[in-house]
């Protein structure tokens, strides 16, 4: 009995430590003070939310950074899903064990490697190519996109690989025997079976891209909604604000909106998966 109580207390303590910062974020999103302090005014109501959607320079800069972040995240996630999924399928069907092992080890290296090493190596490569090959300044949206794709592909590969291992390989062979071309077998047999892993890799890629700072800072250039200036994402905008003064108070309601949106998506996916599981169980019973 005592062990059970202690175990429950430990679990709730961990959950409290995980969600306490978010609870504080909710509280301080109703305070207009620039400096986070419990002595501030919490009677501001939704003033910060109004300011976030107002026509001010701070609000404009925040939404530009937010839009840039979303464009980069979605684009890099789509590219990473295509390349990572095809790479996982190709590696899975490699006949040589040695080649398969080499590819898997090379895929694991970026995950275990420090992000600063990836960022610095990409920077050196872009500088070399721009100086000696293309004779121009390469840093732009495209270098930033490449950096995020390099960061995300290994995680897509690891999300798709278990689904390939769980798949019945005889289905693909049967499709080929029945007259399907390899591309048709890929689209109609393999992809539907590994789709949950592909979707998980897509969500993971977006998450990695949204909160990335190091690779973004090293590989960004001018472009997107920032125009001729260096591309600002939420992470770089927050870091720039900290160097100048403090983080704008309007970011607190924005981050809360992002959290609630993600929470809604997670809850919706959980409800959908439970519904699908119940439907499959009913079909199996029939």
pLDDT band at 73, cuts 50/70/90?
Answer: very high
Residue 132 has a CB neighbour count (10 Å cut-off) of: 8
Please tell me the predicted confidence (pLDDT) of residue 176: 80
Task: Tell me the average pLDDT across 198-227.
Answer: 89
Lowest mean pLDDT among 6-10, 35-39, 93-97, 128-132: 35-39
State yes or no: pLDDT of 79 exceeds 90: yes
More confident residue, 181 or 70: 70
Task: Tell me the average pLDDT across 24-38.
Answer: 74
Please tell me the predicted confidence (pLDDT) of residue 39: 61
pLDDT band at 258, cuts 50/70/90?
Answer: confident
Please tell me the predicted confidence (pLDDT) of residue 147: 93
State yes or no: pLDDT of 46 exceeds 80: no
Topology of the domain comprising 57-278: MetI-like fold (1.10.3720)
More confident residue, 168 or 286: 168
Nearest-10 Cα torsion for 115, 223, 81, 176: -140
State yes or no: pLDDT of 44 exceeds 80: no
Please tell me the predicted confidence (pLDDT) of residue 229: 86
State yes or no: pLDDT of 26 exceeds 90: no
209, 76 Cβ separation under 8 angstroms: yes
Please tell me the predicted confidence (pLDDT) of residue 37: 64
State yes or no: pLDDT of 157 exceeds 80: yes
Q: What are the φ and ψ backbone dihedral angles of 41, each rounded to 5 degrees?
A: -90, 115
Among the listed residues 53, 32, 50, the one whose alpha carbon sits nearest the alpha carbon of residue 41: 32
Q: What span, in angstroms and rounded, lies between the C-alpha atoms of 151 and 115?
A: 8
State yes or no: pLDDT of 51 exceeds 70: yes
pLDDT band at 273, cuts 50/70/90?
Answer: confident
State yes or no: pLDDT of 38 exceeds 70: no
Among the listed residues 83, 82, 103, 107, the one whose alpha carbon sits nearest the alpha carbon of residue 91: 103
Tell me the pLDDT tens digit for each residue of 53-68.
888 888 888 899 999 9
Task: Tell me the average pLDDT across 138-166.
Answer: 91
Q: What span, in angstroms and rounded, lies between the C-alpha atoms of 261 and 196?
A: 21
32, 47 Cβ separation under 8 angstroms: yes
CA distances to 20, 51, 138 from 268, in Å: 23, 30, 41
Task: Tell me the average pLDDT across 84-102.
Answer: 84
State yes or no: pLDDT of 40 exceeds 60: no
104, 164 Cβ separation under 8 angstroms: no
pLDDT band at 32, cuts 50/70/90?
Answer: confident
Please tell me the predicted confidence (pLDDT) of residue 246: 76
Strand partners, 140: 222
Lowest mean pLDDT among 33-47, 130-144, 192-206, 225-239: 33-47
Among the listed residues 59, 63, 34, 29, the one whose alpha carbon sits nearest the alpha carbon of residue 46: 29
Task: Tell me the average pLDDT across 84-109.
Answer: 83
Q: What is the 3-state secondary structure (H, E, C) of the chain?
A: CHHHHHHHHHHHHHHHHHHHHHHHHHHHCCCCCCCCCCCCCCCCCCHHHHHHCCCCHHHHHHHHHHHHHHHHHHHHHHHHHHHHHHHHHHHHCCCCHHHHHHHHHHHHHHHHCCHHHHHHHHHHHHHHHHHHHCCCCCCEHHHHHHHHHHHHHHHHHHHHHHHHHHCCHHHHHHHHHCCCCHHHHHHHHHHHHHHHHHHHHHHHHHHHHHCCCHHHHHHCCECHHHCCCECCCHHHHHHHHHHHCCCCCCHHHHHHHHHHHHHHHHHHHHHHHHHHHHHHHHHHHC
């Amino acid at each position: 009995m005592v062990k059970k109580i202690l175990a429950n207390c430990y679990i709730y303590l961990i959950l409290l430590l995980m969600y306490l910062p978010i609870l504080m974020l909710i509280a301080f999103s109703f305070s207009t003070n620039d400096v986070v302090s419990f002595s501030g005014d919490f009677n501001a109501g939704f003033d910060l939310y109004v300011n976030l959607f107002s026509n001010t320079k701070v609000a404009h800069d925040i939404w530009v950074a937010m839009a840039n972040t979303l464009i980069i995240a979605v684009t890099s996630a789509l590219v990473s899903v295509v390349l990572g999924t095809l790479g996982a399928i190709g590696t899975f069907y490699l006949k040589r064990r040695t080649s398969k092992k080499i590819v898997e080890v090379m895929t694991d290296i970026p995950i275990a490697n420090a992000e600063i090493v990836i960022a610095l190596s990409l920077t050196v490569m872009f500088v070399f190519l721009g100086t000696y090959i293309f004779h121009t300044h390469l840093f732009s949206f495209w270098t930033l996109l490449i950096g995020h794709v390099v960061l995300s592909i290994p995680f897509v590969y690891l999300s798709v690989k278990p689904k390939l291992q769980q798949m019945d390989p005889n289905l693909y062979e049967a499709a080929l025997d029945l007259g399907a071309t390899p591309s048709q077998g890929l689209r109609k047999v393999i992809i539907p079976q590994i789709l949950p892993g592909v979707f998980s890799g897509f969500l993971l890629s977006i998450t990695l891209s949204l909160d990335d700072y190091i690779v973004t800072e090293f590989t960004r250039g001018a472009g997107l909604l920032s125009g001729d200036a260096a591309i600002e994402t939420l992470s770089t905008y927050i870091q720039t604000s900290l160097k100048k003064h403090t983080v704008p108070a309007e970011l607190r309601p924005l981050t809360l909106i992002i959290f609630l949106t993600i929470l809604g998506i997670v809850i919706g996916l959980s409800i959908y998966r439970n519904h699908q599981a119940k439907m499959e169980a009913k079909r199996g019973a029939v």
